[in-house]
A and B are shown apart, each in its own frame.
Chain A
Amino acid sequence: GEDVEQSLFLSVREGDSSVINCTYTDSSSTYLYWYKQEPGAGLQLLTYIFSNMDMKQDQRLTVLLNKKDKHLSLRIADTQTGDSAIYFCAEFGSSNTGKLIFGQGTTLQVKP
């Protein structure tokens, strides 16, 4: 079946850029999402990209989509300690199904 994979942990220094990677298997994906979850909190939508786009930028966040390799990345510029959290990528399949599949989440640790 469809699958979404992320590395489990990333550690960076404050002020550096962070890049969180995600791969997926469903070639008919329509939308791909990035969510942030802080301890004890819900899922905050950071950004999302439609599958016919290659890149989307929103302030410090840049999403890159390589549809050929089924690879999605989230770059956070000038990473701050407040960015420490778990980041989930999620993939929405073809438009006539409602299945949404999440990766396992990447824990981002930002060191001062």
Chain B
Amino acid sequence: EAQVTQNPRYLITVTGKKLTVTCSQNMNHEYMSWYRQDPGLGLRQIYYSMNVEVTDKGDVPEGYKVSRKEKRNFPLILESPSPNQTSLYFCASRSGDGELFFGEGSRLTVL
């Protein structure tokens, strides 16, 4: 089954403790990206990757890092999380004909 898988789905952590949210897709898509969703602010793009070893900033990249060492994985790294990074995070991948699939979301709380 074609899918985008994110882990963890839920996480509560403390300020400054490094964490990684993984994202994996099994559709051999070149394009992948990360978004955060916040009440009143909607969905905003954090980073995207057009292909392996090619990443670029979206609208809200501050405080985040990504890597794309292989096509299927696109982890989101929070080196030193802060409370303003408490949010619902979505990963997505896109097929060559434009179909854009989202993962189920990862709800992160930073205390």
Contacts and interface: CB of A to CB of B under 8 A. Distances in A.
B49 interface: yes
Main secondary structure of the interface of B (DSSP, over half): strand
Contacts, number: 54
Interface stretch (A63-71, A76-84, A98-106): A98-106
Contacts of A104: 42
A31 B42 contact: no
Interface string A80-94: 000000001010100
A24 interface: no
Interface residues of A, number: 21
B109 to A, nearest CB: 15
Contact of B33 (A30, A31, A100): A100
A42 B104 contact: yes
Interface stretch (B19-27, B79-87, B93-101): B93-101
Main secondary structure of the interface of A (DSSP, over half): strand
Given A98-B49, A98-B56, A99-B58, A42 B42 contact: no
Interface of A: 30-31, 33, 35, 41-43, 45, 48, 50, 88, 90, 92, 98-105
Interface of B: 31, 33, 35, 42-45, 48-50, 56, 58-59, 90, 92, 94, 98-105
Given A90-B100, A102-B35, 4 more contacts: A43-B102, A99-B45, A100-B35, A102-B44
